[in-house]
């Protein structure tokens, strides 16, 4: 019984410790560049990326064609993701920026709403995505970070989690067409 109690206390302690060291958008508030979804993702963008498994092995590579337009107070982003095996995935985002600077978004493969916050050159989005694994539809949680770099490149790093365990990582780079 004491071992179970000690294990539970240790687990809770590790979870609390992890939350103390998590990155926050405010960590990037003093950046020289400013990333706003409605400015950067309006127009045509191209992107390239990799999908890694939990062990860091690259499992898939992909290209992204992205087109965004603002309709009233909503940014709509149409993305076509083409994987190295020729398969494609279409995602359509709709984002609204709240008066406090946070973003709320929806997409065709996102469960509920994506919640975003930004500061300086960074944006963090948290959402639940539906994905197909071995023919079954599953849900996974995504923590998605974007950073605007000098020269106009956006670097994206996302962690995909299932039941609190890392399933994979996504790294992508976006560049607006000139």
pLDDT score for 150: 86
Query: 109-152, pLDDT tens digit by residue?
Result: 999 999 998 878 889 999 999 877 777 888 999 999 999 988 88
Residue 40 tokens, joined = 């950067």
E-strand stretches of 24-164 = 43-53, 58-71, 74-83, 88-97, 103-107, 110-119, 122-133, 136-148, 154-162
CA dist 166 and 91 (Å) reads: 23
CA dist 71 and 33 (Å) reads: 25
Query: 73-115, pLDDT tens digit by residue?
Result: 899 999 999 999 999 999 999 999 888 888 999 999 999 999 9
pTM of the model: 0.81
Q: For residue 12, name the pLDDT band (cuts at 50, 70, 90).
A: low
Q: In 3-state terms, what secondary structure has residue 4?
A: helix
The domain spans of the chain are: 34-176
Q: Is 83 exposed, middle or buried (0-12, 13-18, 19+ CB in 10 A)?
A: middle
Query: 55-66, pLDDT tens digit by residue?
Result: 999 999 999 999
H-state helical runs in 73-172: none
Listed residue (146, 178, 175) closest to 37, CA to CA: 146
CATH no. of 34-176:
2.40.128.20
The stretch 17-29 carries a mean pLDDT of 56
């Amino acid at each position: 019984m004491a071992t179970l109690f000690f294990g539970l206390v240790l687990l809770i302690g590790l979870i609390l410790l992890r939350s103390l060291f998590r990155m926050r958008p405010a960590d990037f508030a003093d950046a020289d560049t400013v990333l706003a979804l409605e400015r950067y993702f309006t127009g045509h963008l191209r992107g390239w990326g990799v999908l890694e498994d939990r062990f860091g092995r690259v499992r898939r590579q992909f290209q992204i064609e992205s087109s965004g337009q603002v309709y009233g107070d909503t940014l709509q982003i149409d993305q076509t993701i083409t994987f190295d095996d020729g398969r494609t995935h279409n995602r359509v985002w709709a984002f609204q920026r709240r008066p406090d600077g946070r973003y709320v978004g929806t997409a065709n493969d996102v469960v509920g709403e994506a919640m975003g916050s930004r500061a300086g050159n960074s944006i963090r989005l948290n959402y639940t995505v539906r994905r197909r694994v071995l023919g079954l539809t599953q849900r996974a949680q995504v923590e998605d970070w974007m950073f605007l770099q000098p020269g106009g490149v956006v670097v994206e790093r996302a962690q995909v989690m299932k039941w609190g365990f890392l399933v994979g990582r996504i790294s992508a780079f976006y560049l607006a067409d000139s």
